[in-house]
Amino acid sequence: MGKTSTRRIRLDLLTPAEKSIYDAMQVVEKMAADERLTEAVCLLEQAQNKVADYVDEQLSMK
Site for its own copies in 21-60 (CB under 8 A): 21, 23-24, 27-28, 31-32, 34, 36-37, 39-41, 43-44, 46-48, 50-51, 53-54
Note whether 14 binds its own copies by CB under 8 A. no
- How deeply is 35 buried, as exposed, middle or buried, from its count of CB atoms within 10 A (0-12, 13-18, 19+)? exposed
Q: How far is the CB of 35 from its own copies (least distance, A)?
A: 9
Residue 5 near its own copies by CB under 8 A: no
